[in-house]
Amino acid sequence: MLSLRAARVITCLTAALVPPLGAQTGTVTQRFDVRVPMRDGLTLSTDIWMPVTPGRYPTILLRTPYIKATNGVARLAHFYASRGYVFATQDTRGRGDSDGQFSWLQSDAKDGYDAIEWLAEQPWSNGRVGTAGGSYAGTVQWLAARERPPHLSCLLPKAAAGRWFDEAPYLGGALLMGFAMTWSNLTSGHVAQTGNADLIDWESIYRHRPFATMDSVLGRPMPVYQDWLRHPTFDDHWKRITLTDSDFARIDRPALTVTGWFDADQSGALHYWRGMRGHSPAKDRQYLIIGPWQHVATIYGGSPLKLGEMEFSPESVLDANTNDLRWFDSCLKETGPYLAPRARIYLMGTNQWRDLSDYPPANAESRDLYLHSGGHANTFSGDGLLSWNKPADEPTDHYTYDPSSPIPIAEVQEDGVDQRHLENRNDVLVYTTSPLRDTVEVIGKVVLDLFAASDARDTDFMAKISDVLPDGRALKIGAKTVGVIRARFRNGYEREELLTRGRVEKFRIELFDIGYAFLPGHRLRIDLSSSASPAVAPNPNTGNPVAGDTTAVVAHQSIYHDREHPSHLILPVTHR
């Protein structure tokens, strides 16, 4: 989902592309604020572009909470309308010029169904409707598809979120504080609330406790934010908008899924991909593209060629309009099969596109990379090691987590950046391989099985992965700022189980999907910690309900890597 910063980037990228609009522009005509009725009597504002020449055309629908009139869809609409499509963009319920009260995805399944069927019934429609859009506008496509609208022909979701409690607005059960505050503020009115946040003292806001009144201190009660806090477990509120295996088994439509290795919604996009490939009657009509992109770049097909201190080849930029047009020509105009590999991924490290017959690749072998140390893995100068060999009897590593002094990590800003400025803290454990003799290709989902204990009733454990270059720079890779598990959710997100102080337990931390070639002479590194603020709300360690808690205690953490507790990273390593 887009943060406030990301929404601004989209506006800047697209606003300059919008041509002057009139009732008719060349071969394209447009109608603004068409009121599309929903089943409950409310109407949603929809702008529609179509060819001037009368006829029946296939339709592409983009539904967005980011205000259709200000985020520059006009050029995209003209692109399709001048090529024989109707292009419709709609403000979601409670946003822009649409009726109703906005809520996080709760009405978008039925509203999407109603919009698709209304478009298909119009005299200029040939009855075939495809859906497009990224981020929230990608998620709503899947929610509508779950309702099985008869005239939905295909989907093109980019960077679509979908794994609630392990993606957004919670990650590993921990609230993504920076995202929660900025995105809730962005969508707290009918129009975009971007400019009003320019001079806010965000550091002061993030220090405020309890979380339940943080929005009021910002300047307004924010209903979406309060909804999130009212549902601190994976309950029916979240289940209603989460697609299951049985949902995928009922969706018989082709989809082209697009995500990025640094896309904050990568896990959601691949949740849909894996669900459709595993259960859908249309599993052989699913296609996937993964580039070296963050969230916004995923939606637009890439660029810039540098992310932090990582550089990519010019080929990393996808001609999104041309590729998307081929997709819609195939499934809406039925010009022929979509000629593309099942999955196309950009392998970082070698900086080359690779075509796969499936994703993850069939030749990926699960290998365990074990944590080791002499008991002093603190900081990058410590003795933490990673090895393919299982640990013997080794001492435990320890660090202290103080919620009042969290590690300062902001959303997305660390991607591709040297992590040594954060690894010099004593509350960070660092484990690194020896220089690699051969290339190690990692393609697929990466997880860390961590054996740990705490003297607190609740706490967080976090991890991130880096490529350590021969010159010592440790460049962070991965779709999220950190992988995290809130301890009270170690056995699932549906219920909370506080810790027994001092008891060693296993915690699984997902580091999401990676497509990276670690080259000879490079090293692979894992950092462990318990905080990343404001990206993740600092855990007060008390075990109290988080929304209303105003207290905090220091937690003393112990990380185990011995015969009985072999903490290890699980890597999908490919062989060529």
Q: What is the 3-state secondary structure (H, E, C) of 299-337?
A: HHCCCCCEECCEECCHHHCCCHHHHHHHHHHHHCCCCCC
pLDDT tens digits, residue range 266-315?
999 999 999 999 999 999 999 999 999 999 999 999 888 999 999 999 99
**pLDDT score at 2:** 54
pLDDT tens digits, residue range 145-187?
999 999 999 999 999 999 999 999 999 999 999 999 999 999 9
Contacts of 474 (CB under 8 A, 6+ apart): 380, 418, 419, 420, 423, 466, 467, 468, 525
Average pLDDT over residues 16-32: 59
Does residue 292 have a cis bond before it (omega within 30 degrees)?
Answer: no
Of 394, 395, 373, nearest to 384 by C-alpha is 373
Q: Please identify, in words, the CATH class of the domain defined by 364-574.
A: mainly beta
Average pLDDT over residues 485-500: 98
**pLDDT score at 196:** 83
pLDDT tens digits, residue range 528-547?
999 999 999 999 999 999 99
Average pLDDT over residues 222-239: 97
Per-residue tokens: 375: 């008991």
Residue whose token pair is 């204990």: 453
Contacts of 95 (CB under 8 A, 6+ apart): 64, 65, 66, 67, 102, 187, 190
* Whole-number Å distance between alpha carbons of 224 and 102: 8
In the chain, the percentage of residues whose pLDDT exceeds 70 is 95
Torsion sign across C-alpha atoms 76, 82, 83, 85: positive
Average pLDDT over residues 391-402: 97
Domain ranges of the chain: 4-162+241-356, 364-574
Whether 458 contacts 543, CB under 8 Å = yes
* Whole-number Å distance between alpha carbons of 316 and 42: 43
Whether 280 contacts 532, CB under 8 Å = no
Q: pLDDT-derived band of residue 411, with 50, 70 and 90 as boundaries?
A: low
Inform me whether the pLDDT recorded for 139 exceeds 60. Answer: yes
One DSSP character per residue, 140-157 reads HHHHHHHT--TTEEEEEE
Model-wide pTM > 0.85: yes
pLDDT tens digits, residue range 103-118?
999 999 999 999 999 9
Same topology for domains 4-162+241-356 and 364-574, yes or no? no
Q: Give the count of beta carbons closer than 10 Å to the beta carbon of residue 561.
A: 25
Per-residue tokens: 37: 């009725």
Phi then psi for 318, rounded to 5 degrees?
-95, 135
* Whole-number Å distance between alpha carbons of 526 and 359: 25
Residue that wins the pLDDT comparison between 4 and 151: 151
Q: Give the count of beta carbons closer than 10 Å to the beta carbon of residue 69.
A: 18
**pLDDT score at 14:** 36
| Per-chain mean pLDDT for the chain | 94
* Whole-number Å distance between alpha carbons of 562 and 427: 21
Per-residue tokens: 221: 């009660």
Q: pLDDT-derived band of residue 26, with 50, 70 and 90 as boundaries?
A: confident
Average pLDDT over residues 304-330: 95
Q: Give the count of beta carbons closer than 10 Å to the beta carbon of residue 353.
A: 17
* Whole-number Å distance between alpha carbons of 294 and 117: 33
Whether 471 contacts 255, CB under 8 Å = no
**pLDDT score at 20:** 33
* Whole-number Å distance between alpha carbons of 463 and 510: 9
Of 100, 85, 95, 89, nearest to 46 by C-alpha is 89
* Whole-number Å distance between alpha carbons of 463 and 452: 13
* Whole-number Å distance between alpha carbons of 255 and 62: 15
Of 62, 134, 66, 139, nearest to 96 by C-alpha is 66
Does residue 169 have a cis bond before it (omega within 30 degrees)?
Answer: yes
Contacts of 107 (CB under 8 A, 6+ apart): 92, 93, 100
In the chain, the percentage of residues whose pLDDT exceeds 90 is 90
Go through the chain and tell me how many residues it has. 576
According to DSSP, residue 497 is labeled: -
Contacts of 51 (CB under 8 A, 6+ apart): 27, 28, 29, 57, 81, 82, 84, 85, 86
Average pLDDT over residues 81-99: 97
**pLDDT score at 248:** 98
Residue whose token pair is 């990393």: 316
Q: pLDDT-derived band of residue 526, with 50, 70 and 90 as boundaries?
A: very high
What pairing do the DSSP bridges indicate for beta strands 429-432 and 523-529?
Answer: antiparallel
* Whole-number Å distance between alpha carbons of 265 and 160: 6
**pLDDT score at 199:** 86
The three-state secondary structure class of 211 is: helix
**pLDDT score at 19:** 33
**pLDDT score at 323:** 96
CATH number of 4-162+241-356: 3.40.50.1820
* Whole-number Å distance between alpha carbons of 570 and 526: 12
Please give the single-letter amino acid code of residue 127: G
pLDDT tens digits, residue range 430-439?
999 999 999 9
Of 452, 487, 483, nearest to 557 by C-alpha is 452
Q: Could you tell me if residue 130 is left (phi over 0), alpha (psi between -120 and 50 degrees) or otherwise beta?
A: beta
Whether 256 contacts 329, CB under 8 Å = no
